[in-house]
Amino acid sequence: MTSSDPAARAAQVLSRPFSLGGLTVPNRIAMAPMTREFSPGGVPGADVAEYYARRAAGGVGLIITEGTYVDHPAAGTSGAVPRFHGEDALGGWQRVVEAVHAAGGTIMPQLWHVGMAREAGAPPFPDAPPSGPSGLALDGTPSGHAMTQQDLDDVIAAFAEAARAAERIGFDGIELHGAHGYLIDQFLWSGTNRRTDAYGGDLVARTRFAAEIVAACRAAVSPDFPILFRMSQWKMGNYEARLADTPEELDAIVAPLTAAGVSSFHASTRRYWLPEFEDSDLNLAGWVKKLSGLPTVTVGSVGLDNEFIQAFQGKQAGVAGIDRLLDRMERDEFDLVAVGRALLGDPEWAAKIFEGRTGELVPFDASMLRTLS
């Protein structure tokens, strides 16, 4: 039975521990992965460790780091986004892990390959061409390299090695970035995957690359080491794009990934309260949980009154209540909630929610993106 007092209700619903594989997350609040570009040469420093540790000390149960590049020349498109390979970068990440654990949190790196989102000539490897399933950008124009079987094998191996390294240096799990129009998602989406081999065609065939990455990562880590898979319908610059128009189509995507060894899905939406399909109020995370039987993480404008596009256009976000979120969590529609911009604005957002100090919440402003605070 939940409390009628709003603060007590939030604390009761969100402070419950949750098990993911062999990991116990101390509460239901996760920090969403957000690219910050404060790692010169791809190496996270002491400021990055302090940034994540502040959120853990502020009550966040699970930190999901910003996207980190796997060891493949075409994986990245910035020299300031952290790498997840090389002794220097992994040493920096180990210090991040230690700081977060010391603050009472758990942490997973998000492993990332940008695919065709890479800008030609960009660092960290300027000579590497943008690479994807069919060499097509998100708008359908040919602008890069269609990946060969050797390319696919190399990328799969890079993800597996990153997963192995994550467990070795003390991370609590990993998240695979399969959303937002980056490489893994480019294989899932018919708009960018025009292949005629085993990695293209119908929905199930388009999941093969993602499933092989999941399976390789699962084989590289302990059986109970959590593997999260982030997915979305929308793509950067194409917010109406959809992988699945029906629950049946969504099931065709999540079933092979579940079978390959995913522990939990992180379903990225821009507004968590919107229903995904007609005739049901379930959001994307709710549908994925129903279809896969696995735990899910929801995300999308939690605690704020506008979505990230407006915020990045310079429109300040106001603080919003989370009653709708609590309603859905009480129904077990999803299991964890990832908070993004609200945690950039206020590292103590979680603690203030738990303690009923909502009047002290600091709203997010786009100017906060310019510093790592």
Do strands 296-299 and 336-339 pair parallel, antiparallel, or not at all (unpaired)? parallel
State how far the Cα of 350 lies from the Cα of 31, in Å rounded to an integer: 10
Residues 234 and 180 sit within 8 Å (Cβ to Cβ): yes
State how far the Cα of 148 lies from the Cα of 180, in Å rounded to an integer: 23
Q: Can you say whether the dihedral through the CA atoms of 110, 111, 116, 118 is positive or negative?
A: positive
Catalytic residue among 51, 52, 69, 182: 182
Residue among 140, 166, 139 nearest 222 (CA)? 166
Q: Can you tell me whether residue 52 is helix, strand or coil?
A: helix
199: annotated active-site residue: no
Matching residue, tokens 């090695």: 161
State how far the Cα of 167 lies from the Cα of 177, in Å rounded to an integer: 17
Neighbours of 319 (CB within 10 A): 19
Residues 272 and 232 sit within 8 Å (Cβ to Cβ): no
For residue 21, what are the CA distances in angstroms to 66, 355, 373?
22, 29, 32
State how far the Cα of 72 lies from the Cα of 64, in Å rounded to an integer: 21
Residues 128 and 77 sit within 8 Å (Cβ to Cβ): no
Q: Enumerate the active-site residues.
A: 182
